[in-house]
A and B are shown apart, each in its own frame.
Chain A
Amino acid sequence: MKLKKSIIVFGIIFFIQPIINSVLPLGYVIHIDLCVMMMLALTIEEDKAPSFLAVGFLFALLTDIVTARFIGVTPIAMIITVILIWVIRNHINIENFLLDVGVLGSGLLVFNVSKWIMYVLLGSDYTFLYMAKRLHKSVVIDLVLLLIPLYLVVTKAATKRRDRYFR
């Protein structure tokens, strides 16, 4: 993904984020972070494209500046997650939908847990149980929202394989 395209995509995501969270009937307990979801999807799809990574990290930093208590936590958690996905993809390089589900799920889990660890290290008093009670719901919802477009892409690719070109 080119730099210009990345800026436009992440810019749109940054601005529609409040709409999505107020439209989805998830209450105020689950918060959808589209920027993180986009980063995970692109890490799986685009492998090591530095332009989208740079823009994604920049928007994560911007989100921290305007909303979070500690600036820099989200980009660091993202770096850990992206490296993890990259390492897994390097070791198991198979195009498989179920594998993608596993990788994305692990990514979301690692992102949330590393963010919580940093918050605790920085002095917040959110206990592990408190975080764990919310973690499974948020991971499942994020995963479902991420997998819908991914599944559509996979099925589209699968139908193309059946045309005469692949014979």
Chain B
Amino acid sequence: MRWIKSHKFISVILTVFIVSVLMLGLTMKFGNRLGFLNKVYMVIEKPMLSLGESITENVHGIFSYRDLLEENEQLKEENERLQNEVISLTLSADELQELNELSEVLGYEFVNPAENIVTSNIVSENSTNWTHTFSIDRGSESGIEVGDIVLSGRSMIGKISETGSGWSKVNTIFDESIKINFAVQGNASLTGILEGSKDETLTGFMLDENSDIADGDVIVTSGRGIYPEGIVIGKISKVGYDSNRQLKTVIIVSDVNLSTIEKVSVII
């Protein structure tokens, strides 16, 4: 005891080191069993995050007032155009009945996407300088499992890395631990591997160095590996060549801006 009192600094360091190593060992052996604390933290973090977002939006709004007015006008016009489009595209009750009867006759079974998708809110961001993760407010109670794909609109943004009741953690596609086998939309033979990210873009390489690809090509999941086929990843913004590895490299810009999205869908 006397030694501890006279060596407070070393005692604190040693105690923290021993506790941390123990915790690390326990996490490695049994996994993160303290996931329920995540839920508690989410309750605290959510209002903080909303406050931060509202501050940013308000400050941004002050400086871009004219742009917002212009955008508002454009959106009004687009809304009107889309409403007319919806009217022209809506199936009449008779046509729908006809289609249902036809599918029964042909024995066509289809999957109802609504039953396989869970919509969820992003409640916290848990990123460090190289891990890119965030938490959502749905978990195992909704049927979400580790490895499920997470989308924003039509685009892939990551996969579930941990889940519990009322919470799940998502590893984003910007996290280097996610390797995706991709293909060019419209030509499934042009495939490559997404291997990491640089700033806010994704980087990858083509499996065939003679692949005929160009800027603007849409990149989708190839269906090889754990990810289902045809999920949009982004668009090619630059094609290059790595002479050291003798590989055709690509820089892909995702359609999704992770800093602004609030809701995601999980394919279960």
Contact = CB atoms under 8 A, between A and B. Distances in A.
Interface of A: 15-23, 25, 27-31, 33, 48, 50, 53-54, 57, 61, 64-73, 75-76, 79, 82-83, 112, 115-116, 119, 122, 124-127, 130-131, 133-135, 138
B127 interface: yes
B196 interface: yes
B127 A69 contact: no
Given A23-B55, A72-B23, A30 B129 contact: yes
Contacts of A119: 131
B199 A27 contact: yes
A130 B196 contact: yes
B205 interface: no
Contact of A28 (B9, B56, B177, B258): B258
Chain B's interface: helix, strand, loop or mixed, by majority? Answer: helix
Given A65-B37, A71-B23, A131-B130, A22 B16 contact: no
A138 B129 contact: yes
B28 interface: yes
Interface string B1-35: 00000001101110111011111101110001010
B113 interface: no
A39 B131 CA distance: 22
16 contacts: A19-B49, A23-B56, A28-B200, A28-B259, A29-B174, A31-B127, A33-B128, A50-B9, A50-B11, A53-B16, A66-B41, A67-B124, A69-B133, A70-B28, A72-B21, A76-B24
Nearest to A132: B130
Contact of B161 (A69, A71, A75, A134): A69
A83 B12 CA distance: 12
Interface of B: 8-9, 11-13, 15-17, 19-24, 26-28, 32, 34, 37-38, 40-41, 44-45, 48-49, 51-53, 55-56, 124-133, 161-162, 174, 176-177, 196, 198-200, 258-259
Contact of B24 (A31, A70, A112): A70
Going nearest first, the 10 A-B pairs with the smallest beta carbon separation are A22-B52, A72-B20, A72-B24, A67-B126, A50-B8, A66-B41, A19-B52, A72-B23, A57-B16, A48-B9
B48 A15 contact: yes
B259 A27 contact: yes
A111 to B, nearest CB: 10
B34 to A, nearest CB: 5
Given A27-B199, A71-B23, A73-B24, A126 B177 contact: yes
Nearest to B179: A125
A134 B129 CA distance: 7
Nearest to B25: A72
A22 B17 contact: no
Contacts of A15: 44, 48
Nearest to B200: A27
Contact of B13 (A16, A67, A83): A83
B17 to A, nearest CB: 6
Nearest to B49: A18
Contacts of B55: 19, 23
A31 B129 contact: yes
